[in-house]
Amino acid sequence: MSGLFSTLGASVKALNAHARAIEIAGKNLSNVNNTAYARQRVIYGDRGTVVTPEGAQSLGLEALAVQQLRDALLDRQVMRETALKSSFEAEQDVLGRAQAGLGQSIDRSSSTTASSSNASTNGLAGALDDFFNAFQSVAASPTDIGERQTLLQKAAILTDRFNQTDARLAQVQSDVDTAVTADVADVNRLLSTIADLNAQIGRIEVGAPNTAIDLRDQRQAKLEELAAIIPIEARNTDNGQIQVVMKDAANADVVLVDKAAVTGPVAFTGTGLTGGASATALVFSSGKIYGQLSARDGAVQDLRNALDGMARQLVTSVNAAYNPSATPGADFFAAGTTAGTISVQAGVTAATLRAGNGSAGDNSIALAVAAIASQNFSTAGGDAVDGTLSQYFSQSVSNLGQALASANSRVDDQTNISNLVKSQRDAVSGVSLDEEMADLVRFQRAFQASSRVFSVVDDLLDTVVNRLGH
């Protein structure tokens, strides 16, 4: 008699366990397209064993727990690779916008030798050639007012191109600052969300470790979203909670989130980030913000510096040739010697333009200025540039093109690596429709078998209770 009731109870437990397994299989299937979801499974176990007059007997099957299939090492690797990919993509984006701002087509595959001409004949390079050609034309016809007006027009176009190119590159850098400011706001929002999830997980998992698995999924998704912006490390503490950590210049930990608390906001200083309880300067080498700042302070700033050097050399050389006696106010270009400030000296008109020393038909000044186009400069000799002005500009443009090509290549490589790591994690945590459907059928059959046992025992009890003795 006690055996039948025991079997009946065990059948009920088995039914509950298989029903739980079917529920989890259904949950897995419903989250097949949820990238933040990690596959779950029911852990079956024996309810224990008791000693009876007939010997030791099992109390039957039960669902002990629901396990989340996650590999912590792969999760951390995904975060690292995500940070690198975001860094390269951000750098690629900024350099691409700088290229557009430059107004030049760049041959990314060409060499970077000083003699190569990678820039097109349009934009600043074309304006520079037109400027010197116009001086050559004035030298050929020093008294021709039309050639003089053309020269002044070409000079105005050249200085405008310098000014506009510098302004566009400066705008690219300013846009980076705006983007980083917005990203920092996202960082602080994510830190706050992670701290809130830590608090919820901590409350649930007190005395019940690893049970807040859906909240852990949400937290992992936020961690990966955060890692795409700044590189972080997540370290386990107690009750399922974590710390979110970055590094300072001494490679010491800077804790951004400690369990349920954000230790301090992350802030943008203009050159980097601070964070932690004491606003410590953060040191990092990946993530979207790093890529943006690397492009802003690297290739884009290098190009602005190169344009400044080119403008300075142009102003110095042309003024020296145009005003050899250094008469105050008699220069061709005004005093501004950067790409953003270069301009034609006020008072230089078609009538006042000097082509020579004043003698009839003298064109020595125009020839001297035109000769600057082919003059080789050297920084070792105190000049602002190396090579001719055209070569120097081509080299500068090529450097930006090479930086962009390198960023493109790194994005492609890192995308492959990131996809590979995610595939490895999906093999562990991802939901497989085929596997879940097979499990669903298996759990269904197990449930049906347990229900059959329940039915048989019920019939036996009916026989014992209602029919014996009749």
pLDDT for residue 3:
77
To the question of pTM greater than 0.85 for the whole model, the response is yes
Between 2-30 and 433-462, two packed helices, what is the crossing angle to 10 degrees? Answer: 160
> Which residues face 52 on adjacent strands?
55
Each residue of 99-152: pLDDT tens digit? Answer: 887 765 444 444 433 333 444 456 788 899 999 999 999 999 998 999 999 999
Average pLDDT over residues 433-440: 95
Report pLDDT digits (tens) over 371-403.
999 999 999 999 999 999 999 999 998 999 999
138 by Cβ neighbours in 10 Å (0-12 / 13-18 / 19+) ranks as buried
Distance CA 29, CA 24 (A): 9
* E-only strand ranges, 259-378: 261-262, 267-268, 273-275, 280-281
State the pLDDT at residue 469.
67
**What are the structure tokens assigned to 160, written together?**
């405008």
310 conformational bin, left if phi > 0, alpha if psi -120 to 50, beta if neither: alpha
Q: Using CA atoms, how far apart are residues 58 and 6, in angstroms rounded to an integer?
A: 9
* 3-state class (DSSP) for residue 325: coil
User: What's the pLDDT score for residue 103?
Assistant: 64
